[in-house]
Homo-oligomer: A and B are copies of this chain.
Amino acid sequence: MLVTTNYRKRGMGLSARTDSTADKILECSLDLMSEKGYKAVTMKEIAAAASVSEMTVFRTFGSKQAILDAIIERYLSSAPVERIGRKNFSYELEEDLLMISELYHEVLNRNRKIYLISILERKTMPEIHRRLHDNASKLLQRVTEYFRAMQEKGKVVPGNPEAQALTLMRFNYGKFISGLLLEGIAPAFQDDRLEDAVAIIAKGLST
């Protein structure tokens, strides 16, 4: 009851005061939770990581769950999928596919840690995962439309445009996730250029 914590009070208000304490706590919590999962992170750990007393964490956010909520609200940016529109296409296949892929990786990387949390907590808090997925679906739709248009122009091989879009996007997703999950476990590949892979896929799709 009346759990209007300090954080909420400020968060709702005109605020915009620096409040680096809450920031630090959020960032450290994001780091920890994306590594070990919500349940496995303790308030003590969070406090220590943020170089703050445990009490401060409770005073600032009120509860552990509230921290996660704040993280989502703050860091899960409804990515710039909108930036892909007809206007941006050059209708040069390879060029466009590279642009799309780069944008997708930008989105994925921006939400890197959120993605990890969403994977770890996909069963306990499916909303997070669903929100990210919805975003990806929108992007897939746009790319599908693009392929449909390109087929009409005779610049892309006939076929189910959604399947074509999926081929491209799944490659990109696979590249992203494998990199994400292998961080600190295996060394990254050298000479791992996105352009090369996109060129292969573009060639496979061109007429």
Contact = CB atoms under 8 A, between A and B. Distances in A.
Contacts of A167: 171, 196-197, 200-201
Nearest to A196: B163
A166 B204 contact: no
Nearest to A140: B189
- Which of A40, A170, A175, A197 is packed against the most chain B CB atoms within 10 Å? A170
Nearest to A197: B167
A147 to B, nearest CB: 11
B122 A181 contact: yes
Contacts of A35: 123
Contact of A196 (B159, B175, B184, B193): B159
Mostly, the A contact residues are: helix
Protomer copies: 2
Contacts of A122: 181, 185
A68 to B, nearest CB: 14
Contacts of A172: 174
Counting contact residues on chain A (CB < 8 A from B), the size range is 35 or more
A58 interface: no
Nearest to A189: B166
A104 B5 CA distance: 51
A96 interface: no
A62 interface: no
Interface string A120-159: 1011101001100100010000000000000000000101
Interface in A163-207: 163-164, 166-167, 169-175, 177-178, 181-182, 184-186, 189, 191-193, 196-197, 199-205
Given A37-B40, A170-B174, 7 more contacts: A36-B124, A126-B184, A157-B200, A160-B191, A163-B192, A163-B193, A201-B201
11 contacts: A37-B40, A37-B120, A163-B191, A163-B193, A164-B200, A166-B189, A166-B197, A170-B197, A174-B175, A199-B204, A203-B204
Leading 4 A-B pairs by shortest Cβ distance = A174-B174, A204-B204, A170-B174, A200-B204
